[in-house]
Chain A
Amino acid sequence: MKLLVCISHVPDTTSKINFTEGDTKFDTNGVQYVINPNDEFGLTRAMWFKEKQNATIDIISVGGAETEPTLRKALAIGADAAIRINAEAIDGHTVATYLAAAAKGGGYDLIIAGRESIDYNGGMVPGMLAAMLDANFVTNCISLEIEGTNATAVREIDGGKETISTVLPLVIGGQKGLVEESDLRIPNMRGIMMARKKPLTVVEPAAEASQTHSVSFEKPAPRGTVKLVEADHIDELINLLHNEAKVI
């Protein structure tokens, strides 16, 4: 089984978000980058398929040379080879178009992406990629089993979950639940050494295909200070929620 895992290079979850150039660009100053958490759950599940079902894992990402440490980390976790599409990720459609062009002809049975990146939160790349490749698609995926060419996936829905039966080729939008947080792997020294020798191929992108772009950014208005209520004056809290905030 041939797997492709899509990796987004995103600011660490603790990053302070700021903008530059008249609030038109994300300020990368002092920001640590990581594998997008939703992608990391997918990569970890892919490792299970590698170890138990003999799958091979390619990883793929759209970005400049600065994203390579993130790809090397994914290789150190255990992916076999990396592809970096040398382009800026302008919007979800651009990324999906580049990924589809690179994946076509690769003979991938299963493509695992994260349900969304934690920076732009578009939540569109996995679905677009599936539609472009005419593959089956399950998003918000919290469990995945493959047997032959059949797949059983569990999707989180509003207020519950549903089990889906489908066939390969398949694209997954993964999230926490696909594996547990405690299953995530920290690369060991051997993995890091081996990752240096694994192939990282840089390819030039297909034709640019943006449909949207970010015009400007804003930060939420600062909040007023909290109104503290004494622990033995609960009535006052109820009064404030009813008469001032009008939420109960």
Chain B
Amino acid sequence: MSVLVYTESDQGNFKKAALEAASYGKAVAEAMNTNLVALTFNAGEASELGTYGVEKVLNINSVNAFNAKIYADAIKQAAEKEAATVVILSASADSRYIAPLLTVGLKAGYASNVVAAPSSLSPFVVKRTAFTNKAFCNTEISTAIKIIGVSNNSFGLLENPTTAQMEDFSPNLVSSTTSVTSVDKASDKVSIADAEVVVSAGRGLKGPENWGMVEELADVLGAATACSKPVSDLGWRPHSEHVGQTGKPVATNLYIAIGISGAIQHLAGINSSKIKVVINTDPEAPFFKAADYGIVGDAFEVVPKLIEKLKVFKAQNS
């Protein structure tokens, strides 16, 4: 018996979401009195995983490009080799792509968007978000093997230092008629999925030409930029920045909303963020009811001042 966690890396570095999944895996392994094993592709070294409680790492070097079908099948073989009864994945785009394929391969029940350690092991019950963050659902997984997708920034990073032993793993790889022909990824920008802070703006900014200050504020905070639905529908910003019920969910530590009134669909998308700051001219904007801190004021006056003050703050605190 064991707990297996798939720890995703990007150019040799483990993603924060992967380390969070490992932290979660350690909590489950401890509760079940068993070991935590990680599966990696092309990982350089294992010590960082050891920090979060991983005792053994199976590393696959024989796969180059990402392919969901091949990855899912490799994870399945690792789970079988380690007799894993719980398999943990993160909420990254790739992990969400892999998980449903893996569930069919392992005949395992799958709960996605899980935000807390199991409340009970028998029956096996986890808490997940549903109705786009408007509610939580306590879900029982009744299969012998369970698959859990851990939401970003929910369980958190929990150090549990041990020594991780790495071994090479060479599964029999399946073939696939699907291949990636090109990747378009801005390497100098923080993605919404990986961001600790998101700076988001809405129609209150009046036009796409005014996004300079949003980007500058994001730069100062090391944040990703996002926008409301009308802004992406108007073509002011790309769809990939649209946050809300039909866009991306955001679960960051700090979400700053500028000139966004706070429609119910938008609030649903950002509900899992810990601290919300709202800047809006309209004191009656519904977003103020969902926020932790607010400034009633004109974004064109407030945001430049905020950037200036934050620069001073960052200079003093770095």
In the complex, number of A-B residue pairs with CB atoms less than 8 Å apart: 264
Chain A residue with minimal CB distance to B229?
A181
B139-197 contacts to A, CB under 8 A, are 139-143, 176-186, 189-194, 197
List of B residues within 8 angstroms of A125 by Cβ:
100
List of A residues within 8 angstroms of B111 by Cβ:
212
List of A residues within 8 angstroms of B1 by Cβ:
none
Listed stretches B40-48, B53-61, B305-313; interface member = B305-313
Q: How far is the CB of B284 from chain A (nearest CB, A)?
A: 12
Count of interface residues, chain B, beta-carbon cutoff 8 Å: 92
Known: A157-B94, A234-B309. A131 touches B185 (CB 8 A): no
The 8 Å CB contact of A238, one of B185, B190, B288, B313, is B313
Chain B, 287-318, contact with A by CB distance < 8 Å: what is the 0/1 string? 01111111111100110011001100100010
State in angstroms the CA–CA spacing of A229 and B288 once bound together. Answer: 12
B89-109 contacts to A, CB under 8 A, are 92-94, 96-97, 99-101, 103-105, 108-109
List of B residues within 8 angstroms of A137 by Cβ:
68-69, 101, 178
A136 touching B178, Cβ below 8 Å: yes
The 8 Å CB contact of A165, one of B135, B179, B221, B305, is B179
Q: How far is the CB of B289 from chain A (nearest CB, A)?
A: 7
Known: A119-B131, A156-B240, A212-B141. A163 touches B182 (CB 8 A): yes
List of A residues within 8 angstroms of B113 by Cβ:
121, 123
Answer yes or no: A162 CB below 8 A from chain B CBs.
yes
B271 touching A220, Cβ below 8 Å: yes
Answer yes or no: B2 CB below 8 A from chain A CBs.
no
A159 touching B100, Cβ below 8 Å: no
Known: A121-B129, A157-B94. A128 touches B141 (CB 8 A): no
Q: How far is the CB of A209 from chain B (nearest CB, A)?
A: 10
Q: How far is the CB of B40 from chain A (nearest CB, A)?
A: 18
Q: How far is the CB of B151 from chain A (nearest CB, A)?
A: 10
B99 touching A124, Cβ below 8 Å: yes
Answer yes or no: B77 CB below 8 A from chain A CBs.
no
List of B residues within 8 angstroms of A211 by Cβ:
103, 108-110, 141-143
Answer yes or no: B51 CB below 8 A from chain A CBs.
no
The 8 Å CB contact of B295, one of A38, A138, A159, A231, is A231
B275 touching A118, Cβ below 8 Å: no
Answer yes or no: A78 CB below 8 A from chain B CBs.
no
The 8 Å CB contact of B109, one of A181, A212, A231, is A212
A201-227 contacts to B, CB under 8 A, are 210-220, 223-224, 226-227
State in angstroms the CA–CA spacing of A230 and B297 once bound together. Answer: 8
Answer yes or no: B274 CB below 8 A from chain A CBs.
yes
State in angstroms the CA–CA spacing of A122 and B131 once bound together. Answer: 10
B265 touching A14, Cβ below 8 Å: yes
Answer yes or no: A127 CB below 8 A from chain B CBs.
yes
List of B residues within 8 angstroms of A120 by Cβ:
130-131, 137
Answer yes or no: A196 CB below 8 A from chain B CBs.
no
Answer yes or no: B278 CB below 8 A from chain A CBs.
yes
B203-243 contacts to A, CB under 8 A, are 221, 229, 233, 239-240, 242
The 8 Å CB contact of A231, one of B264, B291, B302, is B302
Known: A137-B68, A216-B138, A237-B306. A128 touches B293 (CB 8 A): no
Known: A139-B96, A211-B109, A231-B295. A159 touches B189 (CB 8 A): yes
B264 touching A13, Cβ below 8 Å: yes
B178 touching A14, Cβ below 8 Å: no
List of B residues within 8 angstroms of A89 by Cβ:
none
B96 touching A213, Cβ below 8 Å: no
B138 touching A218, Cβ below 8 Å: yes
List of A residues within 8 angstroms of B277 by Cβ:
237, 241
List of A residues within 8 angstroms of B134 by Cβ:
17, 219-220
State in angstroms the CA–CA spacing of A21 and B177 once bound together. Answer: 48
Known: A13-B265, A118-B246. A157 touches B185 (CB 8 A): yes
Q: A158-B192, A160-B240, A218-B127 are in contact. List 11 more A-B contacts (CB 8 A).
A: A13-B265, A13-B268, A120-B137, A121-B132, A123-B113, A127-B101, A127-B103, A162-B180, A211-B110, A226-B278, A231-B298
The 10 closest A-B pairs by CB, nearest first: A127-B100, A159-B191, A160-B185, A231-B297, A211-B109, A131-B104, A158-B193, A166-B178, A247-B254, A124-B100
Q: Would you mind naming 7 contact pairs between A and B with Cβ atoms under 8 Å apart? A: A13-B246, A14-B265, A38-B246, A93-B103, A176-B246, A211-B142, A242-B313
